[in-house]
Structure formats: structure tokens, C-alpha cells
């Protein structure tokens, strides 16, 4: 079993403080999927190519982000969840143009992104790491100087590495699956993104015994639920659902079901995380 502390009481107390800070401003919630909006359908942005988090196979969607999204949607009273592919570089545009109501796509909360969208959560905290060949000598960012490193355009991972290792030969693809394939073929030296994502790839049948996660995280990635800028009503509704998911044990079950098979150990000191105040 994955070990961690629940911390549900703290989670709820922070939510209460956040709701008080939000006041009565609905932030245009009538335009969103929650916050008083009618209808039974909701459009949710997820990744389609991240095993263990957001993966589409035929008409089936699986992963931790998918499980959290389905739980939240149910609590919002939505019976028809329509999943939309949300590549990293398109997430802000998908929200701004109304193509999605919410985004659950390993969407790290950053000050820069909060200029364009609002966030509920966070609902998970991961750490940036490296995926390399099993016989690789790379043990961390300090070993990347002059190496060919892959990340995805529009991700915080690429920006972090540029700052950490100016001498790295960074190549940005549109999906992590393409990066993983290139590393497995020896065309690139490493892939960097969140450890949760990397663990999913390392656990896939085609990469077992070929790829490994270094296991030396060098950042903190706070996964938030992206939504329309200023929609505090929807943010509050999502946070209520996230709190309930922790309290009733569904969050634990989702963690175990999706990360357990990959042997990924969730950091009990940071998960489940405290919720931010809606604003």
C-alpha cells in the first residue's frame, strides 16, 4: 500500500478559510459548468497520452486525473462528462474560448498562469524528475550539461530545466509519449516532467526494463483544476468536491489504483495538499 497521512481536517479548514476570503463574488459563474450553471453536461480537458494520469484508449479514459474529474463532475451534478484533449500549450486557450469548463491535466499552478485562468485545488503535489535509459549514468539535473533532453512545449518542466542547466540541449515535442519513445530508442538522453507522469511511462509494457525514473525530484508541481478566470463560484464548488473526495476515501482509492501498479510512492508529507483560497 502507498503510505501517507490523510490530513483531511486541515484540508477542510483551509477550504473554509478560502471560502470566507472569496466573499460573495460569483465571478461570472453562470458561464461555467458549476456555480449555478444549469445542464447535465460538462466538458473537461485532460491529457490523452499520460498513462496513470490521463490516457485515452479507444472510447475509454483512465488515470488519476480522470478519476478526480469524474468525482468532481458528479458532485457538481453533471451526469455527462465529455473529455477533451488538452495539450500543455493549449490549456489556457481551451478555457478562454469556452471549449472546456474545467481542466484536469497535470496543470501546475503558477503565478504566470493565474494571470490568464483561475485554479481550484491543488488536488495533488508532484515533483519534476528525469526518465532515462536503464543503463544511463544520469542521476540528476547536474548531469544534463551537453545532453539531449526532451520536454513538452508549454510545460513548466522545460522552463525549470533551462534555468537549472543552461548548457542542456533542450528539445521540445508536442507530447510526452513522443519524448519517451525517443529516449527508449537512444535518440535523446532523457525526458523531464513530473515524476507521476514519468512513472506511468516506465510502467508501460513496451518500456519495462528499458526506461527508469531517476528518483531525484528537483521541483514541486501543484496540480490545480483550471477554470475560467475569476469564476470563484465554480472554484468553490470544485474545492468542496475535492474536500469530500479526501474525506470519504475516494482520493486514496484513486491514488492506489493509478500509482500503485507503477510502484510510485506518494509523498505523505505533501499529499493530499491543502487547498488554496479561491480568488
CATH number for 190 = 3.40.190.10
Q: Report the distance separating Cα 234 and Cα 242, nearest Å.
A: 12
Note the pLDDT tens digit of each residue in 209-245. Answer: 899 999 889 889 999 999 999 999 999 999 999 999 9
> 227 near 73, Cβ under 8 Å?
no
Structural domain span for residue 173: 128-213
Note the pLDDT tens digit of each residue in 121-175. Answer: 999 999 999 999 999 999 999 999 999 999 988 787 877 877 888 899 999 998 8
Tally of structural domains, the chain: 2
Residue 1 pLDDT: 44
Residue 265 has pLDDT above 90, yes or no: no
Does residue 115 lie within any of the structural domains?
yes
Cell of 74: 458528479
> Can you say whether the dihedral through the CA atoms of 159, 160, 161, 163 is positive or negative?
positive
Q: Report the distance separating Cα 172 and Cα 157, nearest Å.
A: 10
Cell of 104: 484536469
Residue 24, C-beta contacts closer than 8 angstroms, at least 6 positions apart? none
Same domain for 227 and 111: yes
Does residue 236 lie within any of the structural domains?
yes
> 138 near 144, Cβ under 8 Å?
yes
Cell of 198: 514519468
Same domain for 144 and 86: no
Does residue 86 lie within any of the structural domains?
yes
Dihedrals phi, psi of 96, to nearest 5 degrees: -60, -35
Same domain for 207 and 145: yes
Cell of 262: 507503477
Does residue 271 lie within any of the structural domains?
no
pTM of the entire predicted model = 0.78
Amino acid at each position: 500500500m502507498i503510505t501517507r497521512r490523510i490530513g483531511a481536517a486541515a484540508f477542510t479548514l483551509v477550504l473554509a478559510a478560502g471560502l470566507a476570503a472569496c466573499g460573495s463574488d460569483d465571478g461570472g459563474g453562470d458561464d461555467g459548468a458549476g456555480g449555478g450553471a444549469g445542464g447535465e453536461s460538462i466538458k473537461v480537458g485532460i491529457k490523452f497520452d499520460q498513462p496513470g494520469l490521463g490516457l485515452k484508449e479507444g472510447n475509454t479514459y483512465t488515470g488519476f486525473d480522470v478519476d478526480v474529474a469524474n468525482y468532481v463532475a458528479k458532485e457538481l451534478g453533471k451526469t455527462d462528462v465529455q473529455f477533451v484533449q488538452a495539450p500543455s500549450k493549449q490549456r489556457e486557450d481551451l478555457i478562454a474560448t469556452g471549449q472546456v469548463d474545467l481542466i484536469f491535466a497535470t496543470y501546475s499552478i503558477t503565478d504566470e498562469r493565474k494571470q490568464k485562468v483561475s485554479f481550484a485545488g491543488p488536488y495533488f503535489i508532484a515533483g519534476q524528475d528525469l526518465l532515462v535509459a536503464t543503463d544511463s549514468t544520469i542521476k540528476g539535473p547536474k548531469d544534463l550539461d551537453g545532453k539531449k533532453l526532451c520536454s513538452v512545449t508549454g510545460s513548466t518542466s522545460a522552463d525549470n530545466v533551462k534555468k537549472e542547466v543552461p548548457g542542456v540541449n533542450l528539445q521540445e515535442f508536442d507530447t510526452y509519449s513522443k519524448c519517451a519513445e525517443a529516449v527508449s530508442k537512444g535518440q535523446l538522453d532523457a525526458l523531464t516532467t513530473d515524476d507521476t507522469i514519468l512513472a506511468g511511462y516506465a510502467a508501460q509494457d513496451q518500456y519495462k526494463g528499458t526506461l527508469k525514473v531517476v528518483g531525484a525530484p528537483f521541483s514541486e508541481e501543484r496540480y490545480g483544476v483550471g477554470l475560467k478566470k475569476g469564476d470563484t463560484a465554480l472554484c468553490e464548488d470544485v474545492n468542496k468536491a475535492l474536500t469530500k473526495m479526501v474525506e470519504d476515501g475516494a482520493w486514496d482509492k484513486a491514488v492506489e489504483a493509478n500509482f500503485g501498479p507503477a510502484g510510485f510512492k506518494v509523498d505523505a508529507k505533501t499529499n493530499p495538499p491543502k487547498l488554496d483560497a479561491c480568488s
